[in-house]
Structure 1
Amino acid sequence: MNGVESVEIEVVRLAHGRDLALPDYATAAAAGADLLAAIDGEIELGPLERKIVPTGISLALPVGFEAQVRPRSGLAAKNGITVANAPGTIDADYRGEVGVILINLSREPFKITRGMRIAQLVIARHARAIWREVGELDRTARGAGGFGSTGVATGDAKTGTG
């Protein structure tokens, strides 16, 4: 694809996902590929209930890459359905089935059916940190300010230690 890095990911379709499509991108510029529910019948997710939904696939990611399981914005906005551990991380050495931990944050039950697009998968490079303990960190304008210290409106930012 023009200007977009590609990486080959080995995928195994498990028996209960044989008839379902592999993860696919909805548009040419989409970052996330849709994951499908590989379930028999349907699952009802009650208000504030969470369940691991199988996808019927296992992956082999190259070392230096991870797969991030993220919510689908339409399910979140319209139905209050999101990924409980968003983003969920699939490491390069994991070979089990990709499962999606869905949670219903609405007041209404939600039905998940076979083949439903339930989440998206983003493939990303990552680095491993080499931790170097120091006695003090360099100073920045933001300092230790966090958890809303920069405000919500333009010009709200505090300086110094926040």
Structure 2
Amino acid sequence: MTFRDLFEYAAAQPGVVAFFLLIIPALVFLLNLWVGETAEAIWRWRYLYAGLVYAACIPGMFAVTLAIYLFLFERQSIWDVSLVLQVLPILTMVATLVLIRRKLPFQYIPGFGRLSSFLTLIAGLIGVLWFVDRLRLVAFTYVPFSYVLIGFVALLLIIRFAWSRIF
């Protein structure tokens, strides 16, 4: 099964995909109503909040990455965007994060820093690849591929370090 097959299968059942994406912010909303207002009550539920953050952010980050890839590299028209597969995961991610932020700061959610670091790494990688794609540079060189790979990893580490210093 390829990604194309998976997306065609998911696009054939938009109601099921929409249900699973919309249930996440609904669960967060209900959890916010159910959990008390004291710090101890909220603290006990932080792992459930973390699970809901991951359930919303992984498809959301994938949808953001896919949309950027399709617009920058594949030149997809905005009229061809699948609302259920490309827009709804992003809206689900944003709604879930907004609802959770009202109850619990992100610094107390286990593993949230890893998600933001991963998104930073993906953004840096897409930026570098887009720059190389626009440069249309073809080089014939005797430099071993391992040196090129080490340079690429070093560039990603520099981007991550710069991003952490900025924010």
TM-score norm. by structure 2 comes to 0.23
TM-score normalized by structure 1?
Answer: 0.24
Greater helix proportion: 2
Would you tell me which structure has more strand in proportion to its own residues? 1
